[in-house]
Amino acid sequence: MIKALFWKEWCEQRWKLAYGCVLLIGFVAVGLRSRLVQDDIIIIMAAGGSSVLMALLVGMGLVATERGEGSIEMLLALPVRSWKIFAVKMAMGALVCALPIVGCMVVSLAMAGGREMSTTRIVVAYLGCVAFSIVMLVWMVAFSIRQPSEARAGLVGIGVFMGWVSAILLSMLFFKPPNWFGLVITPLGILVLTFNWMYNVLEWLVAVQLALFVCLLLWGAYRFGKEGMVKV
Amino acid sequence: MSEPVIKIEGLRFSYGSKEVLRGVDLEVPAGSIFGFLGPNGSGKTTTIKVLLGLLKAGAGVCRIGGLDSQKDVMAVRRSVGYMAEDQQMFGWMRVEQIVRWVGSFYPGWDEKFVQELLDFLELPRKSRVKTLSKGQNSRLALLLALGHRPKVVILDDPTLGLDPIARKDFLRYVIGLLQSNQVTVFFSSHLLYEIEPVADYVAILKDGVIAKAGKTDELRQSVKKILLRGAGDIELGSIAGILDVAGIGERIALTIEDYSQAKQEAIEKASKCAIVDEVDLNLDEIFEAYIIGNRGQRVQV
Protein backbone atom coordinates (compact mmCIF):
# COMPACT_ATOMS: atom_id res chain seq x y z
CA MET A 1 0.00 0.00 0.00
CA ILE A 2 2.73 2.46 1.02
CA LYS A 3 4.83 1.17 -1.87
CA ALA A 4 1.98 1.98 -4.26
CA LEU A 5 1.71 5.50 -2.85
CA PHE A 6 5.47 6.00 -3.27
CA TRP A 7 5.32 4.69 -6.82
CA LYS A 8 2.61 7.19 -7.73
CA GLU A 9 4.46 10.11 -6.18
CA TRP A 10 7.70 9.01 -7.83
CA CYS A 11 6.03 8.91 -11.25
CA GLU A 12 4.57 12.39 -10.70
CA GLN A 13 7.73 14.00 -9.31
CA ARG A 14 10.50 12.36 -11.32
CA TRP A 15 10.35 14.93 -14.11
CA LYS A 16 10.89 17.73 -11.63
CA LEU A 17 13.80 15.81 -10.19
CA ALA A 18 15.32 15.35 -13.64
CA TYR A 19 14.76 19.02 -14.47
CA GLY A 20 16.32 20.17 -11.19
CA CYS A 21 19.32 17.88 -11.59
CA VAL A 22 20.06 18.88 -15.19
CA LEU A 23 19.57 22.59 -14.55
CA LEU A 24 21.43 22.94 -11.26
CA ILE A 25 24.21 20.42 -11.74
CA GLY A 26 24.78 21.87 -15.21
CA PHE A 27 25.03 25.36 -13.75
CA VAL A 28 27.54 24.25 -11.09
CA ALA A 29 29.64 22.33 -13.60
CA VAL A 30 29.77 25.21 -16.08
CA GLY A 31 30.40 27.78 -13.34
CA LEU A 32 33.23 25.85 -11.67
CA ARG A 33 34.78 24.84 -14.98
CA SER A 34 34.83 28.36 -16.43
CA ARG A 35 36.49 29.91 -13.33
CA LEU A 36 35.19 33.35 -14.27
CA VAL A 37 34.14 33.96 -10.66
CA GLN A 38 35.29 32.58 -7.34
CA ASP A 39 34.17 29.05 -6.42
CA ASP A 40 32.33 30.17 -3.28
CA ILE A 41 30.12 32.50 -5.32
CA ILE A 42 29.13 29.70 -7.69
CA ILE A 43 28.55 27.28 -4.80
CA ILE A 44 26.48 29.74 -2.75
CA MET A 45 24.42 30.66 -5.83
CA ALA A 46 23.83 27.01 -6.70
CA ALA A 47 23.08 25.88 -3.14
CA GLY A 48 20.93 28.87 -2.18
CA GLY A 49 19.14 29.14 -5.51
CA SER A 50 18.45 25.45 -5.80
CA SER A 51 17.03 25.21 -2.29
CA VAL A 52 14.39 27.87 -3.00
CA LEU A 53 13.75 26.75 -6.59
CA MET A 54 13.28 23.09 -5.74
CA ALA A 55 11.06 23.82 -2.73
CA LEU A 56 8.82 26.02 -4.88
CA LEU A 57 8.76 23.60 -7.80
CA VAL A 58 7.94 20.58 -5.65
CA GLY A 59 5.62 22.37 -3.20
CA MET A 60 3.46 23.70 -6.02
CA GLY A 61 2.70 20.25 -7.38
CA LEU A 62 2.51 18.08 -4.31
CA VAL A 63 -1.10 18.75 -3.27
CA ALA A 64 -2.35 21.72 -5.28
CA THR A 65 -2.10 19.91 -8.64
CA GLU A 66 -4.25 17.08 -7.36
CA ARG A 67 -6.78 19.54 -5.98
CA GLY A 68 -6.82 21.43 -9.27
CA GLU A 69 -7.30 18.27 -11.32
CA GLY A 70 -9.80 16.79 -8.86
CA SER A 71 -7.89 13.53 -8.38
CA ILE A 72 -7.43 14.27 -4.66
CA GLU A 73 -10.94 12.95 -4.00
CA MET A 74 -10.12 9.61 -5.56
CA LEU A 75 -6.96 9.44 -3.46
CA LEU A 76 -8.77 10.32 -0.23
CA ALA A 77 -11.56 7.83 -0.92
CA LEU A 78 -9.10 4.91 -0.98
CA PRO A 79 -8.92 2.69 2.10
CA VAL A 80 -5.75 4.32 3.38
CA ARG A 81 -5.35 6.89 6.15
CA SER A 82 -4.95 10.44 4.89
CA TRP A 83 -1.90 11.06 7.09
CA LYS A 84 -0.12 8.20 5.36
CA ILE A 85 -0.81 9.75 1.97
CA PHE A 86 0.47 13.09 3.28
CA ALA A 87 3.57 11.50 4.83
CA VAL A 88 4.45 9.77 1.56
CA LYS A 89 3.94 13.01 -0.37
CA MET A 90 6.20 14.91 1.99
CA ALA A 91 8.86 12.19 1.99
CA MET A 92 8.95 12.12 -1.80
CA GLY A 93 8.90 15.93 -1.91
CA ALA A 94 11.86 16.11 0.47
CA LEU A 95 13.76 13.61 -1.65
CA VAL A 96 13.13 15.55 -4.85
CA CYS A 97 14.22 18.79 -3.13
CA ALA A 98 17.36 17.21 -1.71
CA LEU A 99 18.71 15.12 -4.58
CA PRO A 100 19.59 17.94 -7.03
CA ILE A 101 21.34 19.82 -4.21
CA VAL A 102 23.24 16.70 -3.20
CA GLY A 103 24.10 16.22 -6.88
CA CYS A 104 25.48 19.76 -7.00
CA MET A 105 27.51 18.99 -3.87
CA VAL A 106 29.04 15.89 -5.42
CA VAL A 107 29.95 17.81 -8.60
CA SER A 108 31.36 20.72 -6.56
CA LEU A 109 33.48 18.37 -4.46
CA ALA A 110 34.73 16.56 -7.54
CA MET A 111 35.58 19.72 -9.45
CA ALA A 112 36.54 22.20 -6.76
CA GLY A 113 36.93 20.36 -3.44
CA GLY A 114 39.83 22.00 -1.55
CA ARG A 115 40.60 24.34 -4.43
CA GLU A 116 39.33 27.59 -2.94
CA MET A 117 36.93 26.24 -0.34
CA SER A 118 37.61 23.37 2.01
CA THR A 119 35.58 20.22 1.39
CA THR A 120 34.01 20.64 4.84
CA ARG A 121 32.74 24.14 3.97
CA ILE A 122 31.30 22.85 0.69
CA VAL A 123 29.51 19.95 2.39
CA VAL A 124 28.17 22.19 5.18
CA ALA A 125 26.93 24.80 2.69
CA TYR A 126 25.06 22.24 0.59
CA LEU A 127 23.64 20.25 3.52
CA GLY A 128 22.45 23.51 5.11
CA CYS A 129 20.64 24.26 1.88
CA VAL A 130 19.11 20.78 1.81
CA ALA A 131 17.74 21.42 5.32
CA PHE A 132 16.51 24.87 4.30
CA SER A 133 14.81 23.51 1.18
CA ILE A 134 12.96 20.83 3.14
CA VAL A 135 11.90 23.36 5.78
CA MET A 136 10.64 25.72 3.09
CA LEU A 137 8.76 22.85 1.43
CA VAL A 138 7.00 22.00 4.70
CA TRP A 139 6.08 25.64 5.36
CA MET A 140 4.83 26.07 1.82
CA VAL A 141 2.73 22.89 1.75
CA ALA A 142 1.31 23.51 5.24
CA PHE A 143 0.11 26.98 4.26
CA SER A 144 -0.95 26.19 0.69
CA ILE A 145 -2.65 22.84 1.28
CA ARG A 146 -6.14 24.16 0.52
CA GLN A 147 -5.10 26.10 -2.57
CA PRO A 148 -6.98 24.90 -5.65
CA SER A 149 -4.23 25.44 -8.21
CA GLU A 150 -0.46 25.25 -8.67
CA ALA A 151 -0.26 28.96 -9.38
CA ARG A 152 -1.88 29.88 -6.09
CA ALA A 153 0.28 27.41 -4.18
CA GLY A 154 3.31 28.99 -5.86
CA LEU A 155 2.16 32.43 -4.73
CA VAL A 156 1.88 31.15 -1.17
CA GLY A 157 5.41 29.73 -1.42
CA ILE A 158 6.84 33.01 -2.69
CA GLY A 159 4.89 34.81 0.04
CA VAL A 160 6.37 32.53 2.72
CA PHE A 161 9.90 33.16 1.46
CA MET A 162 9.46 36.92 1.13
CA GLY A 163 7.82 36.97 4.56
CA TRP A 164 10.92 35.36 6.09
CA VAL A 165 13.25 37.81 4.37
CA SER A 166 11.11 40.75 5.47
CA ALA A 167 10.94 39.43 9.04
CA ILE A 168 14.76 39.13 9.15
CA LEU A 169 15.23 42.63 7.74
CA LEU A 170 12.68 44.14 10.12
CA SER A 171 14.15 42.39 13.11
CA MET A 172 17.56 43.79 12.24
CA LEU A 173 16.16 47.25 12.94
CA PHE A 174 15.34 46.29 16.52
CA PHE A 175 17.91 43.68 17.53
CA LYS A 176 21.68 43.98 17.49
CA PRO A 177 23.63 40.95 16.26
CA PRO A 178 23.32 38.16 17.08
CA ASN A 179 19.71 38.59 15.98
CA TRP A 180 17.98 35.81 17.94
CA PHE A 181 14.55 36.85 16.71
CA GLY A 182 15.58 36.51 13.08
CA LEU A 183 17.19 33.17 13.73
CA VAL A 184 14.24 31.72 15.60
CA ILE A 185 11.28 33.12 13.72
CA THR A 186 12.28 32.16 10.21
CA PRO A 187 13.87 29.09 8.70
CA LEU A 188 16.47 31.38 7.20
CA GLY A 189 17.96 30.95 10.64
CA ILE A 190 18.84 27.40 9.64
CA LEU A 191 20.98 28.77 6.85
CA VAL A 192 22.60 31.34 9.09
CA LEU A 193 23.29 28.71 11.70
CA THR A 194 24.66 26.28 9.17
CA PHE A 195 27.04 28.74 7.64
CA ASN A 196 28.24 29.83 11.07
CA TRP A 197 28.12 26.51 12.86
CA MET A 198 31.86 26.36 13.34
CA TYR A 199 31.87 29.67 15.19
CA ASN A 200 28.70 29.59 17.21
CA VAL A 201 26.70 26.40 17.58
CA LEU A 202 23.37 27.21 19.17
CA GLU A 203 21.62 23.95 19.92
CA TRP A 204 18.54 25.55 21.41
CA LEU A 205 17.92 27.53 18.24
CA VAL A 206 18.09 24.36 16.20
CA ALA A 207 15.68 22.76 18.69
CA VAL A 208 13.22 25.65 18.28
CA GLN A 209 13.46 25.39 14.51
CA LEU A 210 12.92 21.63 14.66
CA ALA A 211 9.90 22.01 16.96
CA LEU A 212 8.40 24.56 14.58
CA PHE A 213 9.08 22.22 11.67
CA VAL A 214 7.36 19.28 13.36
CA CYS A 215 4.37 21.43 14.36
CA LEU A 216 3.92 22.62 10.77
CA LEU A 217 4.24 19.08 9.46
CA LEU A 218 1.55 17.87 11.88
CA TRP A 219 -0.65 20.85 11.06
CA GLY A 220 -0.30 20.08 7.34
CA ALA A 221 -1.19 16.42 7.93
CA TYR A 222 -4.20 17.46 10.02
CA ARG A 223 -5.47 19.86 7.37
CA PHE A 224 -4.85 17.32 4.61
CA GLY A 225 -7.26 14.89 6.26
CA LYS A 226 -9.90 17.48 7.05
CA GLU A 227 -13.06 17.86 5.04
CA GLY A 228 -11.99 21.11 3.40
CA MET A 229 -10.06 18.92 0.93
CA VAL A 230 -13.29 17.42 -0.40
CA LYS A 231 -15.93 19.32 -2.35
CA VAL A 232 -19.32 19.44 -0.62
CA MET B 1 -38.28 -5.00 3.28
CA SER B 2 -35.23 -7.21 3.85
CA GLU B 3 -32.46 -6.31 6.29
CA PRO B 4 -31.06 -2.84 5.46
CA VAL B 5 -27.45 -2.89 4.31
CA ILE B 6 -27.23 0.90 4.51
CA LYS B 7 -28.92 2.60 7.41
CA ILE B 8 -28.89 6.35 8.00
CA GLU B 9 -30.53 7.88 11.05
CA GLY B 10 -30.91 11.57 11.80
CA LEU B 11 -27.96 12.56 9.64
CA ARG B 12 -27.05 16.22 9.82
CA PHE B 13 -24.22 18.04 8.14
CA SER B 14 -23.39 21.72 7.93
CA TYR B 15 -20.88 23.45 5.73
CA GLY B 16 -20.00 26.63 7.55
CA SER B 17 -23.30 28.24 8.49
CA LYS B 18 -25.21 26.42 5.77
CA GLU B 19 -27.08 23.31 6.88
CA VAL B 20 -26.80 20.89 3.95
CA LEU B 21 -28.38 17.83 5.57
CA ARG B 22 -31.16 18.41 8.10
CA GLY B 23 -31.90 14.98 9.54
CA VAL B 24 -31.75 12.35 6.79
CA ASP B 25 -33.27 8.95 7.61
CA LEU B 26 -32.85 6.15 5.09
CA GLU B 27 -32.76 2.38 4.85
CA VAL B 28 -31.42 0.54 1.83
CA PRO B 29 -32.40 -3.17 1.66
CA ALA B 30 -29.72 -5.72 0.82
CA GLY B 31 -29.57 -6.76 -2.81
CA SER B 32 -31.66 -3.88 -4.07
CA ILE B 33 -30.98 -1.19 -6.62
CA PHE B 34 -31.75 1.98 -4.73
CA GLY B 35 -32.29 5.24 -6.58
CA PHE B 36 -31.28 8.26 -4.54
CA LEU B 37 -32.97 11.20 -6.20
CA GLY B 38 -32.86 14.90 -5.70
CA PRO B 39 -32.30 18.14 -7.54
CA ASN B 40 -28.83 19.66 -7.78
CA GLY B 41 -27.70 20.96 -4.41
CA SER B 42 -30.18 18.88 -2.40
CA GLY B 43 -27.41 17.04 -0.54
CA LYS B 44 -27.09 13.72 -2.42
CA THR B 45 -23.33 13.88 -2.87
CA THR B 46 -22.85 15.17 0.67
CA THR B 47 -24.84 12.21 2.04
CA ILE B 48 -22.65 9.81 0.05
CA LYS B 49 -19.45 11.48 1.20
CA VAL B 50 -20.56 11.25 4.82
CA LEU B 51 -21.42 7.58 4.23
CA LEU B 52 -17.86 6.97 3.06
CA GLY B 53 -16.31 8.93 5.91
CA LEU B 54 -14.98 11.61 3.56
CA LEU B 55 -17.00 14.18 5.50
CA LYS B 56 -17.72 14.18 9.20
CA ALA B 57 -21.38 14.11 10.19
CA GLY B 58 -22.62 16.86 12.49
CA ALA B 59 -25.10 14.45 14.06
CA GLY B 60 -26.70 11.10 13.32
CA VAL B 61 -25.54 7.60 12.54
CA CYS B 62 -24.61 5.98 9.21
CA ARG B 63 -24.05 2.27 8.92
CA ILE B 64 -22.99 0.21 5.94
CA GLY B 65 -23.11 -3.55 6.41
CA GLY B 66 -23.23 -3.01 10.16
CA LEU B 67 -20.10 -0.82 10.18
CA ASP B 68 -20.26 2.71 11.49
CA SER B 69 -19.08 4.79 8.57
CA GLN B 70 -17.77 7.55 10.83
CA LYS B 71 -15.79 5.25 13.12
CA ASP B 72 -14.81 2.25 10.96
CA VAL B 73 -13.86 4.38 7.97
CA MET B 74 -11.18 2.10 6.52
CA ALA B 75 -13.30 -1.05 6.92
CA VAL B 76 -16.22 0.70 5.23
CA ARG B 77 -14.09 1.84 2.30
CA ARG B 78 -12.63 -1.63 1.88
CA SER B 79 -16.09 -3.17 1.77
CA VAL B 80 -17.78 -0.63 -0.51
CA GLY B 81 -17.31 0.12 -4.19
CA TYR B 82 -17.53 3.85 -4.82
CA MET B 83 -17.75 5.76 -8.04
CA ALA B 84 -17.66 9.52 -7.55
CA GLU B 85 -19.61 12.12 -9.46
CA ASP B 86 -17.52 13.08 -12.52
CA GLN B 87 -14.64 11.01 -11.14
CA GLN B 88 -11.24 12.47 -11.94
CA MET B 89 -8.43 9.95 -12.11
CA PHE B 90 -4.70 10.20 -12.68
CA GLY B 91 -4.52 11.07 -16.35
CA TRP B 92 -0.89 10.11 -16.77
CA MET B 93 -1.48 6.49 -15.74
CA ARG B 94 -2.30 3.84 -18.31
CA VAL B 95 -5.53 1.88 -17.83
CA GLU B 96 -3.67 -1.26 -16.77
CA GLN B 97 -1.49 0.80 -14.41
CA ILE B 98 -4.37 2.48 -12.60
CA VAL B 99 -6.17 -0.85 -12.30
CA ARG B 100 -3.09 -2.45 -10.73
CA TRP B 101 -2.46 0.61 -8.56
CA VAL B 102 -5.99 0.81 -7.13
CA GLY B 103 -5.95 -2.98 -6.65
CA SER B 104 -2.97 -2.71 -4.33
CA PHE B 105 -5.15 -0.94 -1.74
CA TYR B 106 -7.76 -3.69 -1.52
CA PRO B 107 -6.94 -7.06 0.07
CA GLY B 108 -9.82 -8.70 -1.77
CA TRP B 109 -8.92 -7.45 -5.25
CA ASP B 110 -9.96 -10.08 -7.79
CA GLU B 111 -7.43 -9.85 -10.62
CA LYS B 112 -9.13 -12.50 -12.78
CA PHE B 113 -12.49 -10.74 -12.48
CA VAL B 114 -10.85 -7.40 -13.29
CA GLN B 115 -9.27 -8.79 -16.45
CA GLU B 116 -12.70 -10.07 -17.50
CA LEU B 117 -14.20 -6.68 -16.73
CA LEU B 118 -11.60 -4.92 -18.85
CA ASP B 119 -12.77 -6.97 -21.81
CA PHE B 120 -16.45 -6.73 -20.95
CA LEU B 121 -16.29 -2.95 -20.56
CA GLU B 122 -14.21 -2.68 -23.72
CA LEU B 123 -11.43 -0.67 -22.10
CA PRO B 124 -8.09 -0.24 -23.90
CA ARG B 125 -5.45 -1.51 -21.48
CA LYS B 126 -2.52 0.46 -22.88
CA SER B 127 -4.23 3.83 -23.26
CA ARG B 128 -3.53 6.67 -20.88
CA VAL B 129 -6.49 7.65 -18.73
CA LYS B 130 -6.40 11.24 -20.04
CA THR B 131 -6.99 9.98 -23.59
CA LEU B 132 -10.18 8.05 -22.74
CA SER B 133 -13.58 9.29 -23.83
CA LYS B 134 -16.09 10.30 -21.15
CA GLY B 135 -17.91 7.01 -21.58
CA GLN B 136 -14.70 5.00 -21.24
CA ASN B 137 -13.73 7.10 -18.23
CA SER B 138 -17.02 6.25 -16.51
CA ARG B 139 -16.62 2.57 -17.33
CA LEU B 140 -13.09 2.59 -15.93
CA ALA B 141 -14.33 4.26 -12.74
CA LEU B 142 -17.01 1.57 -12.52
CA LEU B 143 -14.39 -1.15 -12.94
CA LEU B 144 -12.25 0.36 -10.19
CA ALA B 145 -15.31 0.41 -7.92
CA LEU B 146 -16.07 -3.25 -8.59
CA GLY B 147 -12.61 -4.85 -8.69
CA HIS B 148 -12.66 -5.96 -5.06
CA ARG B 149 -16.11 -7.51 -5.51
CA PRO B 150 -17.93 -5.32 -2.98
CA LYS B 151 -21.36 -6.25 -1.71
CA VAL B 152 -22.38 -2.59 -1.74
CA VAL B 153 -21.72 -0.25 -4.65
CA ILE B 154 -22.31 3.47 -4.35
CA LEU B 155 -22.60 5.31 -7.66
CA ASP B 156 -22.80 9.07 -7.36
CA ASP B 157 -24.44 10.44 -10.48
CA PRO B 158 -22.32 8.08 -12.59
CA THR B 159 -23.67 9.18 -15.96
CA LEU B 160 -23.12 12.90 -15.40
CA GLY B 161 -21.84 14.49 -18.60
CA LEU B 162 -22.39 11.43 -20.78
CA ASP B 163 -24.32 11.64 -24.03
CA PRO B 164 -27.57 9.59 -24.24
CA ILE B 165 -25.92 6.67 -26.03
CA ALA B 166 -23.01 6.47 -23.59
CA ARG B 167 -25.51 6.75 -20.72
CA LYS B 168 -27.57 3.83 -22.01
CA ASP B 169 -24.40 1.82 -22.56
CA PHE B 170 -23.22 2.54 -19.05
CA LEU B 171 -26.53 1.51 -17.50
CA ARG B 172 -26.51 -1.66 -19.55
CA TYR B 173 -23.10 -2.50 -18.11
CA VAL B 174 -24.16 -1.67 -14.56
CA ILE B 175 -27.24 -3.83 -14.74
CA GLY B 176 -25.43 -6.63 -16.50
CA LEU B 177 -22.71 -6.69 -13.88
CA LEU B 178 -24.59 -6.12 -10.70
CA GLN B 179 -28.14 -7.34 -10.89
CA SER B 180 -27.26 -11.01 -11.04
CA ASN B 181 -24.68 -10.89 -8.24
CA GLN B 182 -26.85 -9.83 -5.28
CA VAL B 183 -24.92 -6.59 -5.01
CA THR B 184 -26.69 -3.66 -3.38
CA VAL B 185 -26.48 -0.61 -5.61
CA PHE B 186 -26.99 2.85 -4.16
CA PHE B 187 -27.39 5.00 -7.23
CA SER B 188 -27.71 8.76 -7.00
CA SER B 189 -29.01 10.73 -9.93
CA HIS B 190 -31.17 13.60 -10.95
CA LEU B 191 -32.07 11.94 -14.25
CA LEU B 192 -35.29 10.15 -13.42
CA TYR B 193 -35.74 8.27 -16.67
CA GLU B 194 -32.41 6.62 -16.00
CA ILE B 195 -33.38 5.44 -12.53
CA GLU B 196 -36.96 4.39 -13.28
CA PRO B 197 -36.33 1.21 -15.26
CA VAL B 198 -33.68 -0.14 -12.89
CA ALA B 199 -34.46 0.98 -9.33
CA ASP B 200 -36.33 -1.30 -6.94
CA TYR B 201 -36.52 1.45 -4.35
CA VAL B 202 -36.20 5.22 -4.51
CA ALA B 203 -35.78 8.05 -2.06
CA ILE B 204 -36.29 11.70 -2.90
CA LEU B 205 -34.06 14.15 -1.09
CA LYS B 206 -35.21 17.73 -0.94
CA ASP B 207 -33.48 20.54 0.94
CA GLY B 208 -31.49 18.13 3.07
CA VAL B 209 -34.34 15.87 4.19
CA ILE B 210 -35.99 12.80 2.66
CA ALA B 211 -39.25 13.95 1.11
CA LYS B 212 -40.32 10.42 0.16
CA ALA B 213 -38.84 6.93 0.20
CA GLY B 214 -40.24 3.58 -0.78
CA LYS B 215 -40.54 0.86 -3.41
CA THR B 216 -40.61 2.31 -6.90
CA ASP B 217 -43.74 0.39 -7.87
CA GLU B 218 -45.57 1.36 -4.70
CA LEU B 219 -44.63 4.98 -5.18
CA ARG B 220 -45.97 4.89 -8.72
CA GLN B 221 -49.21 3.31 -7.49
CA SER B 222 -49.70 5.60 -4.52
CA VAL B 223 -49.13 8.93 -6.24
CA LYS B 224 -51.84 9.87 -8.74
CA LYS B 225 -52.92 12.83 -10.73
CA ILE B 226 -56.66 13.50 -10.33
CA LEU B 227 -58.56 15.60 -12.81
CA LEU B 228 -61.54 17.48 -11.36
CA ARG B 229 -64.17 19.42 -13.25
CA GLY B 230 -65.56 22.37 -11.41
CA ALA B 231 -65.69 26.08 -10.94
CA GLY B 232 -65.23 28.61 -8.22
CA ASP B 233 -62.94 28.89 -5.27
CA ILE B 234 -61.76 25.49 -4.14
CA GLU B 235 -60.41 24.86 -0.66
CA LEU B 236 -58.22 21.76 -0.42
CA GLY B 237 -56.27 22.64 2.70
CA SER B 238 -58.00 19.98 4.81
CA ILE B 239 -56.86 17.12 2.57
CA ALA B 240 -53.52 15.55 3.51
CA GLY B 241 -50.96 14.53 0.93
CA ILE B 242 -51.62 17.05 -1.80
CA LEU B 243 -48.40 17.61 -3.70
CA ASP B 244 -49.46 19.89 -6.49
CA VAL B 245 -52.54 21.67 -7.77
CA ALA B 246 -52.81 23.20 -11.21
CA GLY B 247 -55.68 24.68 -13.18
CA ILE B 248 -55.99 23.40 -16.74
CA GLY B 249 -58.81 25.26 -18.50
CA GLU B 250 -61.96 24.36 -16.58
CA ARG B 251 -60.29 21.43 -14.96
CA ILE B 252 -58.10 21.12 -11.93
CA ALA B 253 -55.19 18.69 -11.93
CA LEU B 254 -54.43 17.49 -8.45
CA THR B 255 -51.32 15.43 -7.67
CA ILE B 256 -51.77 13.52 -4.45
CA GLU B 257 -49.85 10.91 -2.48
CA ASP B 258 -51.27 7.84 -0.73
CA TYR B 259 -54.32 8.00 -2.96
CA SER B 260 -57.28 5.90 -1.76
CA GLN B 261 -61.06 5.64 -1.94
CA ALA B 262 -61.36 7.69 1.27
CA LYS B 263 -59.22 10.44 -0.17
CA GLN B 264 -61.22 10.40 -3.38
CA GLU B 265 -64.41 11.05 -1.40
CA ALA B 266 -62.74 13.71 0.72
CA ILE B 267 -61.54 15.52 -2.39
CA GLU B 268 -64.97 15.45 -4.00
CA LYS B 269 -66.53 16.71 -0.80
CA ALA B 270 -64.03 19.49 -0.22
CA SER B 271 -63.89 20.69 -3.78
CA LYS B 272 -67.55 20.10 -4.63
CA CYS B 273 -66.26 18.91 -7.99
CA ALA B 274 -66.54 15.60 -9.76
CA ILE B 275 -63.44 13.52 -10.42
CA VAL B 276 -63.33 12.95 -14.15
CA ASP B 277 -60.09 11.03 -14.48
CA GLU B 278 -57.24 9.39 -12.58
CA VAL B 279 -53.87 9.40 -14.27
CA ASP B 280 -50.88 7.20 -13.45
CA LEU B 281 -47.63 9.13 -13.20
CA ASN B 282 -44.12 8.17 -14.11
CA LEU B 283 -41.24 8.70 -11.70
CA ASP B 284 -40.25 11.90 -13.42
CA GLU B 285 -43.68 13.45 -12.77
CA ILE B 286 -43.79 12.13 -9.20
CA PHE B 287 -40.35 13.60 -8.55
CA GLU B 288 -41.44 16.92 -10.01
CA ALA B 289 -44.52 16.98 -7.77
CA TYR B 290 -42.43 16.36 -4.65
CA ILE B 291 -39.76 18.86 -5.58
CA ILE B 292 -41.63 21.78 -7.11
CA GLY B 293 -45.25 21.01 -6.27
CA ASN B 294 -47.19 23.88 -4.70
CA ARG B 295 -48.63 21.70 -1.89
CA GLY B 296 -52.29 22.56 -2.44
CA GLN B 297 -52.69 26.27 -2.41
CA ARG B 298 -56.11 27.80 -3.08
CA VAL B 299 -57.13 27.41 -6.67
CA GLN B 300 -59.54 29.62 -8.61
CA VAL B 301 -61.06 28.08 -11.72
Which member of B46, B54, B106 has the closest CB to residue A77?
B54
Query: pLDDT by residue (tens digit) across B60-104?
Result: 999 998 899 888 989 999 999 999 888 889 999 999 999 999 999
CA nearest to B209, candidates B5, B4, B11, B3: B11
What pLDDT was estimated at residue B301?
46
Q: Which residues of A touch B104 (CB under 8 A)?
A: 1, 3-4
Which member of B55, B78, B84 has the closest CB to residue A227?
B55
Cβ-Cβ pairs closer than 8 A, A with B, add up to 58
Residue A227 CA to residue B69 CA, distance in Å, equals 15
Q: Which residues of B touch A73 (CB under 8 A)?
A: 54, 84, 87-88
What pLDDT was estimated at residue A22?
93
Contacts of B259 (CB under 8 A, 6+ apart): B222, B223, B224, B226, B241, B278
0.95 exceeded by pTM = no
Look over chain A and give the mean of its residue pLDDT values, rounded to a whole number. 84
Residue B221 CA to residue B225 CA, distance in Å, equals 11
Q: Which residues of B touch A7 (CB under 8 A)?
A: 101
What pLDDT was estimated at residue A232?
60
Which member of B87, B91, B104 has the closest CB to residue A4?
B104
The helix-helix angle for A39-62 and A150-174 (nearest 10°) equals 130
Any chain B CB within 8 A of the CB of A12? yes
Distances (CA, A) of B85 to A68, B89, B142, B188: 16, 12, 11, 9
Any chain A CB within 8 A of the CB of B82? yes
The domain ranges of chain A are 2-227
What is the Cβ-side half-sphere exposure of residue B241, based on CA atoms within 13 angstroms? Answer: 18
The answer to whether residues B71 and B252 touch, using CB atoms and an 8 Å cutoff, is no
SS3 A64: helix
Any chain A CB within 8 A of the CB of B21? no
What pLDDT was estimated at residue B234?
62
Contact A69 B78 (CB under 8 A): no
Average pLDDT over residues B115-128: 88
Query: pLDDT by residue (tens digit) across A72-111?
Result: 888 989 999 989 999 999 999 999 999 999 999 999 999 9
Residues present in chain A in total? 232
Look over chain B and give the mean of its residue pLDDT values, rounded to a whole number. 84
Domain B223-300 is in which class? alpha beta
Any chain B CB within 8 A of the CB of A80? yes
Beta strand residue intervals within chain B, DSSP E: 4-15, 18-29, 33-37, 59-64, 67-68, 80-83, 152-156, 184-189, 201-206, 209-215, 224-229, 233-234, 242-248, 251-256, 274-280, 299-300
Largest CA distance in chain B: 70
- Radius of gyration of chain A, Cα coordinates, nearest whole angstrom: 19
What pLDDT was estimated at residue A184?
61
The shortest C-alpha distance from A146 to chain B (Å) reads 16
**Dihedral over alpha carbons A55, A56, A60, A63 (to 10 degrees):** 20
What pLDDT was estimated at residue B134?
84
Q: Which residues of B touch A232 (CB under 8 A)?
A: 15, 20, 45-46, 49, 55
Residue B124 CA to residue B128 CA, distance in Å, equals 9
Q: Which CATH superfamily is domain B4-217 in?
A: P-loop containing nucleotide triphosphate hydrolases (3.40.50.300)
Distances (CA, A) of A230 to A67, A70, A148, A225, B3: 9, 9, 11, 9, 31
Residue A21 CA to residue B158 CA, distance in Å, equals 43
Contact A71 B90 (CB under 8 A): yes
Q: Which residues of A touch B74 (CB under 8 A)?
A: 79-81
Residue B57 pLDDT level (bands cut at 50, 70, 90): confident
Backbone angles phi, psi at B154, to 5 degrees: -110, 115
Any chain B CB within 8 A of the CB of A146? no
Residue A183 pLDDT level (bands cut at 50, 70, 90): low
The shortest C-alpha distance from B109 to chain A (Å) reads 13
Tell me the one-letter amino acid at A158.
I
Question: A interface mutation test: which of B72, B85, B104, B152 has the most A CBs within 10 A?
Answer: B104
Query: pLDDT by residue (tens digit) across A48-63?
Result: 888 888 999 999 988 8
Which member of B54, B88, B93 has the closest CB to residue A76?
B54
Q: Which residues of A touch B78 (CB under 8 A)?
A: 79
Any chain A CB within 8 A of the CB of B2? no
Residue B44 CA to residue B189 CA, distance in Å, equals 8
Residue A199 pLDDT level (bands cut at 50, 70, 90): very low
Higher pLDDT, A225 or B115: B115
Any chain B CB within 8 A of the CB of A18? no
Expressed in angstroms, the distance from the first to the final Cα of chain B is 43
Contact A70 B106 (CB under 8 A): no
The domain ranges of chain B are 4-217, 223-300
Contact A80 B74 (CB under 8 A): yes
| Least confident segment among A21-35, A170-184, A189-203 | A189-203
Residue A63 CA to residue A86 CA, distance in Å, equals 9
Which member of B15, B87, B92 has the closest CB to residue A74?
B87
In the predicted structure, residue A166 carries a pLDDT above the cut 80: yes
ipTM (interface predicted TM): 0.83
Residue A102 CA to residue A114 CA, distance in Å, equals 17
Contact A74 B88 (CB under 8 A): yes
Higher pLDDT, B48 or B17: B48
Residue B104 CA to residue A4 CA, distance in Å, equals 7
Q: Which residues of A touch B56 (CB under 8 A)?
A: 227
**Interior CA angle at B262 toward B260 and B268, to 5°?**
105
